[in-house]
Amino acid sequence: MDKLSSFQIYKWMLSFVTPYRGLLILLVLSGVVIGSVELAFPKALQFLIDTSIPSGETDKFILILIGISVLIFLMVVTMAYRNRIERKLREYAARDIQWSMFQHLRTLGYPYFENKPTGDTLGLLQSSVKAVQEIYRIYLPSLLWRSIFALISLVFMVQISPLLTGLTLVSFMLYYFVGPILEKKSSQNKSQAYQYGKEYDKQIYDSVSAITEVKAYSAQPWIMDNFRKVHKQYSKQWLKALAIFHLSEVFRRFTYYVGAVAVLLYGPYCVHNGTMLVGELSAFILYYFTLMALLTAIMTDITEQKILLLQGERLYRFASEVPLLQEPDAPISLSNRSGTIRFEGVSFGYPNGPMLLDKLNLTIHQGERVAIVGESGNGKTTVMKLLSRFYDPTEGVISIDGIPLPLIPQSELSDLIGYVFQETYLFGTSIQENIRFGKPDASDTEVQEAALRAYAHEFILATKDGYETEVGERGIKLSGGQKQRISIARMMLKRPAIVLLDEATSALDRESEMRVQQSIRELQGATVIAVAHRLSTIQDFDRILVMDQGRVVEQGNWQDLITQRGALYALWTGREYMDAQ
Ligand SMILES: Nc1ncnc2c1ncn2[C@@H]1O[C@H](COP(=O)(O)OP(=O)(O)OP(=O)(O)O)[C@@H](O)[C@H]1O
């Protein structure tokens, strides 16, 4: 993995602020106004001690006080204005980064989700985004105003005594010789602690999402044991990181007071030899303490931001992740027609995996009903995934109506295809909403018609609230067969031109399965491609493809292939017993 500099990451994080540079400029200007007024007080004190008191010119001092009162009023108004623009700036940037990450996640597509644990992605979109948002909400505004105040204080200090200013800054610079070493050590330890924290988040996610398995296997002690181990490492690492962090804090304070002692020793000497007035020294000391408080706070901000940079780096890497599948530059529209599907010399292997499909050639005509059969794990589902363009082939071309898939807009392809997956995912909402997912603008009647055709209507009516029944998280309150029928109803509602059924009826009883098969048969003009292990369900398909080792080794209708006594016959006789069950 390339090493990224903090500057690179910080620049990227700040890019979410640049669209609001107008607000940023206003924020800086208001900071200058507020800082100048606030820091005028030591100057007024200096005038009082050096000029007003010795000369007895109280009129002038009263005039100055009136002037300061006007400025204070101006400052209070500016403060209210500054708070408003600061709020806008930080909330806009925080909103934009969250939205941008979410949008990016969508473009990454299927391969990303299949290869990244969900816990990781959730952690990224929740904790990392939140951490980076703190930069806009806390650190950036405070760094801005602290830097402005520090600069103004420094200007006043130099104006009073450049020599004394140089002397105090030397003590501050002392921190830089030792501070960065401690800070680096601290952030390395915190980085390690974050890694353990990530692992901890992942374990929490896994234990919640696999609650059924945990219960069924009485795995609670095992889970708790793992938790304890990771949590122990996590808290130990944090304690270590914090210890080093506090050591650097102590050292910073030490340098702070070294400077103060230098001012207290050298300042009176300057007054004594007449190079400085008492009022000037008093004002200088006030400016010095203000400046040091600001500089040390800036240092703390920078150190704390460094820790957030680790989260920023995770997000930056995520944002730089190039989608495996790109939208076409010059798309060709299919206009919702399907046509002939062709696989020409298609080879494919999953990233970092062995080759699965080996120069596969396949033609499926519009309206044809084709079943793909074969031993488990030999690539049947993969053929469906490639046709849906979840992945691109390593070699060869897949086309619909002569147009290669990469040239078809992804949204059109999704509209064209209705995929009923091996595992049904239901959202934790009502049955109705879960079916409507297939066509968001469908009427209630359309939803019910789709449910009827998926042979789901009757069981839905038998549930407590009918179509309004909540299915629980991931549909936990429904049986496997019920979930499958809802998933089929979704597809029926969508009425796609190409229907992909991956073991879509495997959890149904015989009667439900026959009814659903009949409805699928009635899908006018649709091309149907089905993967099935229960061979009895595909006997009336127009064509059966038998796959072995990434190739189609046999194809034809049921009768011909069984008579031929080849690969299908071998599968059939091997599975007769299973089918009879
Ligand atoms: N996302 C993935 N990353 C890596 N390997 C994968 C991925 N998905 C599937 N595989 C592997 O690819 C091979 C083929 O999987 P596929 O799901 O296409 O088989 P299948 O013929 O449909 O199996 P089954 O009949 O059991 O559903 C399997 O060995 C599987 O482990």
| CA–CA distance, 86 with 99 (Å, rounded to integer) | 20
Q: 34-59: per-residue pLDDT in tens?
A: 888 888 888 888 888 888 778 877 77
Report the DSSP pairing between strands 355-364 and 369-374: unpaired
Protein residue closest via CA to atom 3 of ligand 1: 350
| CA–CA distance, 182 with 53 (Å, rounded to integer) | 48
Is it the case that residue 4 has pLDDT exceeding 90? no
pLDDT-based confidence at residue 176 (cuts at 50, 70, 90): low
Q: 359-373: per-residue pLDDT in tens?
A: 889 999 988 999 999
CA of 76 to the centre of ligand 1 (A): 67
Protein residue closest via CA to atom 9 of ligand 1: 382
Best residue for ligand 1 mutational test, from 355, 382, 575 (most atoms within 8 Å of Cβ): 382
pLDDT-based confidence at residue 475 (cuts at 50, 70, 90): low
Task: State the virtual CA torsion across 284, 287, 289, 294 in degrees, nearest 10.
Answer: -150
Q: What is the mean pLDDT of the chain?
A: 84
CB 424 within 8 A of CB 483: yes
Architecture field, domain 341-580: 3-Layer(aba) Sandwich (3.40)
Select 9-320's CATH number: 3.40.50.2300, 1.20.1560.10, 3.30.420.10, 3.40.50.720: 1.20.1560.10
Instruction: Name which residue leads in pLDDT, 245 or 363.
Output: 363
Structure tokens at 493: 């509602």
End-to-end CA distance of the chain: 53
Q: Which atom of ligand 1 is nearest to the CA of 382?
A: 18
Q: What's the complex ipTM?
A: 0.95
Pocket of ligand 1 (CB under 6 A): 114, 350, 353, 356, 376-382, 531
pLDDT the model gives residue 295 = 83
Best residue for ligand 1 mutational test, from 108, 118, 356, 533 (most atoms within 8 Å of Cβ): 356
CA of 182 to the centre of ligand 1 (A): 50
Q: Which amino acid is at 380?
A: K
What are the angstrom distances between the C-alpha of 6 and each of 179, 311, 336, 376?
Answer: 17, 11, 48, 49
CA of 293 to the centre of ligand 1 (A): 61
pLDDT the model gives residue 581 = 41
pLDDT the model gives residue 546 = 92
Instruction: Work out the average pLDDT over 347-353.
Output: 87
Burial status of residue 554 (CB atoms within 10 A of its CB: 0-12, 13-18, 19 or more): buried
Protein residue closest via CA to atom 1 of ligand 1: 114
CA of 208 to the centre of ligand 1 (A): 26
CA of 276 to the centre of ligand 1 (A): 83
Q: 295-336: per-residue pLDDT in tens?
A: 878 877 887 787 778 888 888 988 888 877 777 788 887 776
Protein residue closest via CA to atom 6 of ligand 1: 350
Instruction: Work out the average pLDDT over 510-524.
Output: 79
| CA–CA distance, 581 with 579 (Å, rounded to integer) | 5
CA of 201 to the centre of ligand 1 (A): 28
Instruction: Work out the average pLDDT over 140-159.
Output: 89
Protein residue closest via CA to atom 26 of ligand 1: 376
CA of 380 to the centre of ligand 1 (A): 8
pLDDT the model gives residue 579 = 46
Handedness of CA 542, 547, 550, 552 (dihedral sign): negative
Best residue for ligand 1 mutational test, from 360, 378, 500, 533 (most atoms within 8 Å of Cβ): 378
Is it the case that residue 342 has pLDDT exceeding 90? yes
Is it the case that residue 228 has pLDDT exceeding 70? yes
| CA–CA distance, 567 with 545 (Å, rounded to integer) | 10
Tell me, yes or no, if the two domains 9-320 and 341-580 fold the same way. no
Annotated domain spans of the chain: 9-320, 341-580
